[in-house]
């Protein structure tokens, strides 16, 4: 319990160590380099306040609360393995700090090596950029966000923690051509499809990891005789992120009333509904889901070419393929 002589930094160090131990025990940190980054970067400096849900609605916990018990809860919460809502506008969440174990999964999927250059889309609090900067160095990390308040806050948080990657205010869907090519592109905001600008700004062999529908797609970029292609599967996990501002909203059709309740409540079916919203009716999606025996997320994938992009089940060549909207 907090009291006289309370040492916030010692408490933060203990809470951070406990968070990392829990993530490692769950298998979220197999790479020692990423474990070292999570051990070193002080998450609490990136979430000086965040929102928690209570019986009376959202409540803000913050580092400057005059009540020492509330500050204690704020610091413990900063190192919980959970997403934290950090910025609200008109009652709507517009920025958050992602769940650390999910961040670790995405960073591992990015498959970076020493010397790689990474573009992050969605600066958020700056915490993810700090992890990347710890792993790769400040000069090899660029993070972009459309909202100048968010980028200014991220810069301040990064500086307070001792990191200085490039923070750019701009449209994340356009990438950051002046810093290209990138060996990895990581999006921390939900998308209806993969912007072609990212594929153009990726180096051959680069990985693009991004939330799409309610999953995470992991694409490998390659130059082929027919032009540049990015292709890859979804990871098995679910993922829910704040939408990329400035991009068209992802399709979210109203499920048909005739579909059975077990399908409408099934996370995997709702993933297929979101992924195919621009091309399939709910009834068509349900028939596909039933015919293919309720496929997991990792049976689906995405291909991006100069002609367009499409999602697929099991095989990029078909028979189950459908177009995705362009950003």
Q: Could you give the residue numbers annotated as active site?
A: 95
Q: Is the dihedral of CA 239, 244, 250, 252 positive or negative?
A: positive
Return all residues near 51 (Cβ < 8 A) that are at least 6 apart: 58, 59, 60, 61, 84, 85, 86, 88, 93
Please tell me what DSSP assigns to residue 297: G
For the record, the structure tokens of 187 come out as 């999006």
* φ, ψ of residue 258 in degrees (nearest 5): -80, -10
Residue with tokens 């517009």: 94
Token pair in block for residue 60: 């803000």
**70 Cβ partners below 8 Å, 6+ apart?**
61
Tokens of 66: 């005059």
The answer to whether the CB of 143 falls within 8 A of the CB of 154 is: yes
Quickly tell me which residue has 């059709």 as its tokens. Answer: 253
For 219, the enclosing helix (H) or strand (E) is strand 215-224
Residue 323: other Cβ atoms inside 10 A: 13
């Amino acid at each position: 319990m907090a009291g006289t002589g309370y040492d916030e930094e010692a408490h933060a160090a203990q809470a951070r160590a406990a968070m990392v131990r829990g993530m490692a025990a769950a298998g979220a940190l197999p790479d020692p380099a990423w474990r070292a980054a999570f051990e070193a970067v002080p998450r609490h400096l990136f979430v000086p306040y965040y929102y928690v849900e209570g019986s009376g609605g959202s409540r803000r916990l913050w580092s400057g609360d005059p009540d020492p018990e509330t500050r204690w809860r704020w610091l413990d919460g900063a190192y919980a393995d959970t997403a934290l809502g950090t910025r609200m506008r008109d009652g709507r969440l517009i920025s958050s700090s992602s769940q650390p174990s999910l961040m670790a999964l995405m960073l591992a999927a990015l498959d970076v090596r020493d010397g790689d250059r990474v573009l992050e889309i969605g600066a958020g609090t700056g915490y993810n950029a700090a992890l990347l900067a710890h792993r790769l160095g400040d000069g090899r990390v660029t993070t972009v966000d459309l909202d100048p308040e968010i980028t200014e806050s991220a810069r301040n948080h990064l500086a307070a923690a001792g990191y200085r990657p490039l923070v750019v205010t701009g449209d994340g869907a356009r990438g950051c051509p002046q810093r290209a090519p990138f060996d990895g592109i990581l999006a921390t905001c939900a998308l209806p499809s993969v912007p072609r600008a990212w594929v153009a700004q990726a180096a051959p062999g680069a990985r693009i990891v991004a939330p799409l529908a309610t999953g995470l797609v992991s694409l490998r970029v390659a130059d082929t005789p027919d032009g540049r292609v990015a292709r890859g599967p979804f990871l098995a996990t679910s993922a829910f992120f704040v939408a990329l501002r400035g991009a068209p909203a992802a399709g979210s059709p109203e499920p048909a009333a005739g579909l059975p309740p077990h399908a409408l409540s099934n996370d995997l079916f709702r993933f297929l509904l979101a992924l195919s919203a621009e091309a399939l009716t709910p009834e068509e999606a349900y028939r596909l889901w039933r015919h293919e025996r309720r496929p997991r997320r990792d049976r689906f994938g995405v291909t991006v070419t100069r002609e367009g992009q499409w999602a697929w089940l099991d095989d990029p060549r078909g028979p189950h393929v459908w177009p995705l909207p362009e950003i």
